């Protein structure tokens, strides 16, 4: 089965069978999308909450709002129906303690949830928060996301 690596501020869209993998999620959030009828999935690795808050715009895949929009539009281009798309999310850890104002992980998770709600995309499962990094493997054949952490072991969501 093909393994596709998704980097930081990156996105991959693929047809089943494939495994989409992203490594080293700290405060970043990984969002897996699946349309079970079209058998197409996507995995986005977002870094920051909003492109609108970015001083000079930048790469839309870096941000929760624009990255999610891009993932959904790419899936629709491949024959998916937005009403059938479901997702799972993981990441958004608080990796450093700078006090409440600096918790980018929480802000990322909040921005992801807000954008998915706005697009009416259901979150089937999540593994967010904490203070540990994660690696994700998303299996398009069954929609299972494996969340691996050095400190918390392996979890299936």
Residues that are catalytic: 28
* Token pair recorded at residue 70: 């891009």
**Alpha-carbon distance 47 to 72, whole Å?**
18
The DSSP line for 72-115 is HHHHHHTT--GGG-EEEEEE----S---GGG-HHHHHHHHHHHH
């Amino acid at each position: 089965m093909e393994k596709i690596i998704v980097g930081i501020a990156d996105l991959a869209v693929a047809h089943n069978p494939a495994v989409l993998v992203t490594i080293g999620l700290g405060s970043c959030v990984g969002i897996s999308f699946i349309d079970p009828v079209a058998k197409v999935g996507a995995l986005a690795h977002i870094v920051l909450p909003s492109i609108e808050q970015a001083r000079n715009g930048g790469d839309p895949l870096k941000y929760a709002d624009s990255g999610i929009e891009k993932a959904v539009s790419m899936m629709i281009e491949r024959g998916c129906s937005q009403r059938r798309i479901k997702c799972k999310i993981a990441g958004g850890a608080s990796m450093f303690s700078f006090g409440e104002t600096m918790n980018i992980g929480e802000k990322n998770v909040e921005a992801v949830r807000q954008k998915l709600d706005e697009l009416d995309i259901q979150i089937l499962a999540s593994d967010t928060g904490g203070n540990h990094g994660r690696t994700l493997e998303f299996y398009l054949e069954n929609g299972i996301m494996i969340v691996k952490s050095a400190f918390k072991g392996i979890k299936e969501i």
